[in-house]
Amino acid sequence: MKSQWITYKGKRILHIDLSNFKEDLKAFEVELTASVTTIGQEIYQRPSHSVLVLVDLRNTTMTQAAQKLLMERIKDTREYIQKTAVVGMTGLRRMFLDFFAHLADSETAPFDDPDSAKEWLTKVK
């Protein structure tokens, strides 16, 4: 499993690494399911709207089937998420960001690289 909890600037971030699956929907589903059923379970122990999430989708094709899988796997975590940074949503793929923002029901922003995403996630308003 590639996904994991990371610490950046003293803050815990759930890093859901769905990168480099290209069009391999089965491998994408395996990673997503493993992430949600193992490390993602900690979300339910956190206060409402407190979890920072970094989703890396670089080099992964977001088909309708992949979008549906995301929706099914994370719909019940929405109340726990504070902010979501999505990496790899460049060009036409940014259209998917609106879908993802609705799905996450949290402040959501696109980034070209994980470092800038982590900076945004940990920035105090």
Answer yes or no: are the C-beta atoms of 8 and 118 closer than 8 Å. yes
Looking at the chain, list the stretches that DSSP marks H as alpha helix, in order from N- to C-terminal side.
Answer: 25-37, 64-74, 95-104, 114-122
CATH number at residue 8: 3.30.750
Instruction: Indicate the residue type of 39.
Output: I
In this prediction, residue 50 carries a pLDDT of: 94
- Residues 119 and 102: their CA atoms lie apart, in Å, by 22
For 41-50, what is the mean pLDDT?
A: 91
CA torsion through residues 75, 6, 50, 43, sign: positive
**Residue with token string 């993802």:** 100
In this prediction, residue 77 carries a pLDDT of: 83
For 37-41, what is the mean pLDDT?
A: 87
Q: How many domains does the chain have?
A: 1
Range of the domain at 75: 4-122
In this prediction, residue 92 carries a pLDDT of: 61
- Region of 22 please: left (phi>0), alpha (psi -120 to 50) or beta: left
Q: Mind listing the pLDDT tens digit for each residue in 49-108? A: 999 999 999 999 888 888 888 888 777 788 898 999 999 876 666 666 776 676 667 788
For 19-24, what is the mean pLDDT?
A: 94
- Residues 104 and 108: their CA atoms lie apart, in Å, by 8
At residue 63, the 3 state secondary structure works out as coil
In this prediction, residue 57 carries a pLDDT of: 92
Average pLDDT value over all residues in the chain: 88
State both tokens at 106. Answer: 């949290």
